[in-house]
Amino acid sequence: MFRVTDKIASKALRKLLQGPRSAEYVACKRWKVLSVENINPHVKKMEYAVRGPIVIRAGEIEQELKKGVKKPFADVIRANIGDCHATGQKPLTFIRQVVALCTYPELMSNPMFPDDAKQRAQRILDGCGGHSLGAYSDSAGVRVIREDVASYISERDGYPSDADNIFLSTGASDGIKNVMKLAMTGEGGNKKAGVMIPIPQYPLYTATIAEYNAHPIGYYLNEDKNWSLDMDELERALSEARPNCQPRAIVIINPGNPTGQVLTKENIQDIIRFAKQHNLVLMADEVYQHNVYAKDREFHSFKKVLMELGPDYNTMELASFMSTSKGYMGECGFRGGYSEVINLDPGVKAMLVKSISAKLCSSVSGQAVMDIVVNPPRPGEPSYETFQKERETVLGQLAEKAKMVTETFNSIPGISCQTVQGAMYAFPQIKMPPKVIQAAKEKGQAPDAFYCYNLLEDTGICVVPGSGFGQKEGTWHFRTTILPPVEKLGEMLGRFRDFHMKFMETYS
């Protein structure tokens, strides 16, 4: 029997449906099958702050500027997302040469393309069906590219990697979701899967956990110690979560997003021991492994540290993730990524292969970009010097900008910022006066969201409130990228300083 609510029917329509013609009318009348009230509740629960309402408003302001609407600024500076090329970073020559050759093989006869680029392109094409990027690949990815990824990991860590454990994906995000899906219990209540995630965290994790109806187990990073990870905090988080879920996995982001810290080897060893003690799958998000700027830090992969710990740890389940979107290449739009998944039960691994097979394969052009990242020009090859110069220029500028952002924020009253040791972001804390908190409450906003909206409207600077990443109660932050060119970043920080001083004066 059909029922029409007051929300979708007028009084006249309800009267009509109650009359003798109701059956005939209902037969020809159709309502939307899906409504906000009846769609999947887990989708409604999802949030993704880096593309949230503030970012939508930034897009509206850009359109207003194009139409000639007067603003107190000339342009919008998008510092909300780690999109390197969108902020002005130039593509690396060798990457684009190989992609061009793969896309249009007729260019192989063009003398302007160096031999090493042609050789890389030919190797990739020979691994593709019909020697074309336009063909589907195996669900796990083009075999020769997976072999190159395995060689890269073996060379990086000093321990062997198997191409059969490599799964190419649509960015790291897709690989992360593929593995996390395996950890779900398929049950609700206190039997649902629990996934440990750092707080602050990259919103992909809370969004995916919500989508999969899992339980987030947040463990707080120690801001006072440059966002380090304390073992007592891991134990606290896990102990408090056990009555509510079945803990199945722990996520670590290293170097950190949004916090920009780089874990020490000792810290990684402790995390691995913790995961072994509590029988958790390790999920290591290592997409920023090339982005380390602090002189007293270096990147240590979880795979390498786990292997170094010896036989008691070598059989632990570990999934580690990499992307073409970050590092020095910043090729976000190609959506290339991989996961290396080791020590899975053979039956579980078969289920992983079955699961990704339903998607056919990831973007083959993205796979090609990943191949170039893991198999760059070598010493003695024609492109080596240019490639190295471009690579070091990008990383050198990022190191300069990391220092610039840290020092500037810490020079502003009411702002504190831990050292940006790596990745592409800063996560400063704002000391909010009570009047800001009250004004935000009246607007129905979190204080950091209120601050970020005002920042956008007054300066055109688009950053993301810390509440979108998680933060300790009573503290307020925002995440900003360090990606704009040095001059533009200087302008952005100048706009920010002026805004902050006026804002605090208004609400002090």
3-state secondary structure 133-202: CCCCCCCCCCHHHHHHHHHHHHHHHCCCCCHHHEEEEEHHHHHHHHHHHHCCCCCCHHHCEEEEEEECCC
Which residue is listed with tokens 């902050």? 500
Predicted local distance difference test score (pLDDT) of residue 2: 40
Residue with tokens 């209902």: 26
Please report which residue ranges of 359-411 form alpha helices under DSSP H.
364-374, 384-410
**Alpha-carbon gap, residue 492 to 484, rounded angstroms:** 9
Smallest CA-to-CA distance from 200 within 401, 50, 413, 404 is with 50
Residues for the chain: how many in total?
Answer: 508
Element (H, E) at 167: strand 166-170
Given this model, what pLDDT does residue 51 score? 58
CA distances from 461 to 46, 402, 453 (A): 25, 18, 9
Give the CB-side neighbour count of residue 184, counting CA atoms within 13 A. Answer: 19
Residues 466, 89: Cα–Cα separation, whole Å? 26
Q: Are strands 336-342 and 281-285 parallel, antiparallel or unpaired?
A: unpaired
**What's the pTM?**
0.87
pLDDT tens, residue by residue, 349-401: 998 998 888 888 888 999 999 999 999 999 999 999 999 999 999 999 999 99
Structure tokens of 280? 């958790």
Angle subtended by helix axes 53-66 and 447-459, to nearest 10: 10
- CA-to-CA distance for 416 and 408, rounded, in angstroms? 10
**Any idea what DSSP says for residue 143?**
H
Determine the 3-state secondary structure of 478 from DSSP.
strand
| Omega of the bond leading into 216 within 30 degrees of 0 (cis) | no
Nearest by Cα to 219 from 277, 269, 271: 271
Q: What is the pLDDT of residue 359?
A: 81
Name which of 428, 388, 438 is nearest 406 in CA terms.
Answer: 428
Measured N-to-C along each axis, helices 486-507 and 434-443 cross at an angle, to the nearest 10 degrees, of 90
Q: Collect all residues with Cβ–Cβ distance below 8 Å to 36 and sequence separation of at least 6.
A: 44
CA 160 – CA 448 distance, rounded (Å): 46
- Closest listed residue to residue 102, CA positions, set 68, 79, 128, 78: 128
Count other C-beta atoms under 10 Å from residue 61's C-beta. Answer: 18
pLDDT tens per residue across all 508 residues of the chain: 344 444 444 454 455 445 555 555 555 566 777 677 766 676 666 565 555 788 888 999 999 999 999 998 999 999 888 889 988 899 999 999 999 999 999 999 999 999 999 999 999 999 999 999 998 898 899 999 999 999 999 999 999 999 999 999 988 989 999 999 999 888 888 999 999 999 998 888 988 998 889 999 999 999 999 999 999 999 999 999 999 999 999 999 999 999 999 999 999 999 999 999 999 999 999 999 999 999 999 999 999 999 999 999 999 999 999 999 999 999 999 999 999 999 999 998 998 998 888 888 888 999 999 999 999 999 999 999 999 999 999 999 999 999 999 999 999 999 999 999 999 999 999 999 999 999 999 988 899 999 999 999 999 999 999 988 889 989 999 999 999 999 999 999 999 999 999 999 998 8
Is the distance from CB of 45 to CB of 210 less than 8 angstroms?
Answer: yes
Single out the residue of 421, 470, 430 nearest to residue 452, CA to CA. Answer: 430
Structural domains of the chain, with CATH: 1-31 (no CATH), 45-88+390-507 (3.90.1150.10), 141-374 (3.40.640.10)
